[in-house]
Structure 1
């Protein structure tokens, strides 16, 4: 059934705003989180994991762009799997997407708190994180165009911050630092590092969730995915080399007390210019903008994913309602905020990142299978963009995502149980509610 006029989202996103969203969703991954993978794989193991993940995201993004242009709806993977595989599989795909988008923002919120705490130690990391949730949920409620314009500005600032970081640290780059303890846990460390390599790019698929709000989705979404992915690959490679090449990977993973750090770029810079430098303080400040860009963008995408679940009856109906004044999914955004705050209060950034990666990989698998099925099931479906090198590209994405998911299950069995318990439990609960 087509949504009523009250349930339709406002079309306001241009190609430039979509680029800002695509890069903004992900750019926090350059500023924190990925460094935790170095503890698992070292420089070489993390580099191998990152190379594999780049191939995954290039092939997946092209495949996902075809689906987003052919079926431009806010539910993203849920809508694609629902159409290709049926309602039950669609629910699981959508719930995987929800888990990804629900767990990524709290991890980033902790990163925001950590960066902010470096400059203003009098404020607690948790307090800053919760404040960020409240402020940016409110901004998203006020309107998509306003939120997207803010995202574009802060994303440009975040990219500028990375450029300044490279300029500061690359003069002290030495190849020998890349070889220090490069493979501490053997080649198996590459598999353990996968979720943190995924963190470099996790979230770009959120562009599909705003396709319904794009002025010209069939044209603009393709441009958004392509331009954003190209930008992110360049940012990833240069940031990785610059941060590790200053003084080895261990100096951007461990704090003085031996705990893992959520602020690797400031740690790398402190090896070069010291923590009292004005440039250091500037980069930390701009780095906070990078985290805010991703946090804000993923809050936006998560709201659309939850909204679609409510709109079609897979979640309580009030989640699928649009605010009459602002034409945004206010109820979905508020519920996501409450759940996100509860997640960040667990104080386990690494575990939250891994749970988000579980959701992402499961969703990628469902999406690529949906693409393959729809090509056969609905050959007449209008496809303004077709994935190049079909079926090779989507099959590469499917194989890599499947191997990565299996590796994550092997190396994180307890978190795998938590993920599948949420996934299956929500499915069973939804079925019970429907029967009642």
Structure 2
């Protein structure tokens, strides 16, 4: 089921081969590593609108959506192990237009998540080195980890597994250090959007907080984009996905509760480094524990940042290979067999976003909050299209080989689809200006899609078995 690795274009051989080197543990490391920065920052913005208790309900709803989505999405990933991931599934189910919608939405998700994480890396380093400008540190992170990704997927995935394990260890250390000051009263005070009691108005904040609950789990689906590089995708991807979502749900609940119970949670609700600030409540500003958290906390951010570079580069690579983006972006490095041009192209977009305050900081939101929201818009649209593709392929191709079948079909994918639709509707309502910007991006992309049909007609063949 591997995509063809070579094709003919203009009479010359064009090489588009990705090496199959990734094992189960490395895929699990990518699955958790892609997401784990969401445990370190971003989610606490949800407290600002929903309060701690309201956000718990929002987070549980989103966790249920992701759990059912991943069990359903795994069917697609193992049936169609393609570097394009959602783009490939939607194209097979709905044709080129469906492929464009899923591919463009995934690209928005994976291009806008890294600058938000890079800014958090800069914020963490700024705590340790006050003279260091966070944006410059963020750009430096791009340069370092783009270079590491270019060196080879085996090197990149092994590094990803190591930093992911360190990041999990660090989160457990954080919970252990703040546990002596754990007071449930701290967590519940003003827990319903600033009030001590639930009211109808609490729903407003809970719905507004959906993007930040999604940030807890955003990008776990990126494992699909490493499917062509997996040694045994039919076996390893289901294990990686299921173990990954269980790991992340448990960590999300633990981090959120322990941070909120450590002190005045309102001081953590609009910042990029809530965990170090929560630890200050317990150990003070000069504790060695705090310095350890800052340094080890970088592992979580680095794991996601590095993993999402793997994801966005494979998405750009797959779209270019199929003629949806310029073909030169689909070239792989002759020595390292990595899509180096795609890696660099995504980095240019991310670095531009970091330095685009005037363009990205609007609607009363911080730069990071708007970048997070933009990324989530792309993710939710992709989730909807992917679940629709699952239903379509079950009906249109009942005999297609499915090494893993979604459990409790059709209930799991139906719940994921409905939950994603609710999330999208509420996000548009509460983030209308960001929704307009997202829609403009999609419209511009569609114009390019219409204008470049000849690229797809002459693109390198990457037809999958059975397609």
**Which interval holds the TM-score relative to the shorter structure?**
over 0.9
SS at match of 1:271: helix
Match of 1:275 among 268, 285, 290: 285
Distance (whole Å) between structure 1 residues aligned to residue 180 and residue 209 of structure 2 = 28
1:414 equivalent to 2:433? Answer: yes
C-alpha separation between the residues in 2 aligned to 1:202 and 1:160? 21
- Of 348, 364, 368, the residue aligned with 2:387 is 368
| Superposed displacement of residue 278, structure 1 | 0.6
1:171 aligned onto 2:180: yes
Distance 2:412 2:241 in 1: 15
Counterpart-to-counterpart distance in 1, 2:30 and 2:130 = 30
Give aligned pairs, total. 430
Q: 1:228-263 deviations in whole A, cap 9, x for unaligned?
A: 11100110000000000111420212xxxxxx3100
Looking at structure 2, the residues matched to 433 and 22 of structure 1 have their Cα atoms a distance apart, in angstroms, of 34
Partner of 2:37: 28
Separation in 1, partners of 2:91, 2:173: 45
**What residue in structure 2 maps to residue 356 of structure 1?**
375
- 1:52-106 alpha-carbon deviations (Å, 9 max, x no partner): 1000100000111110000000000000000001111111111000000000000
| In structure 2, C-alpha distance between the alignment counterparts of 1:195 and 1:249, rounded to whole Å | 19
* Distance in 2 between residues matched to 1:43 and 1:324, nearest whole Å: 51
Match of 2:307 among 284, 297, 309: 297
Q: TM-score, normalised by structure 2?
A: 0.91
Distance in 1 of aligned mates of 2:310 and 2:292: 27
Alignment RMSD (CA, Å): 1.1
User: Take 2:217 and 2:312, find their aligned partners in 1: how far apart are those partners?
Assistant: 16
CA contact (8 A) 2:5 2:18 kept: no
Instruction: Give the secondary structure class of the aligned counterpart of 1:246.
Output: coil
Please list every run of at least 4 consecutive aligned residues from structure 1 whose deviation after the TM superposition is greater than 3 angstroms: none
* Distance in 1 separating the partners of 2:155 and 2:4: 27
| Rounded Cα–Cα distance in structure 2 between residues aligned with 1:104 and 1:275 | 30
Please state if 1:387 is matched with 2:406: yes
- Residue 346 of structure 1 deviates from its aligned partner by 2.5
Question: How far does the alpha carbon of each residue in 1:256-284 deviate from its partner, in whole angstroms, 9 at most, with x for none?
Answer: xxxx3100000100000012111110011
Residues in 1 aligned to 2:166 and 2:24: alpha-carbon distance in whole angstroms: 18
**Is 1:326 paired with 2:342?**
no
Distance 2:219 2:170 in 1: 20
Q: Are residues 1:38 and 2:47 paired?
A: yes
> 5+ unaligned residues in a row in structure 2: which ranges?
8-14, 194-200, 358-366, 456-467
Which residue of structure 2 lines up, in the alignment, with residue 243 of structure 1?
259
Query: Which moves more between the two structures, 346-355 or 96-105?
Result: 346-355
- Counterpart position of 2:212: 196
1:11 alignment counterpart: 20
- Mapped to 2, the partners of 1:94 and 1:329 lie a distance apart of 17
**C-alpha distance in 2, partners of 1:9/1:120?**
40
The alignment's TM-score, normalised by the length of structure 1, stands at 0.97
2:313 counterpart SS class: helix
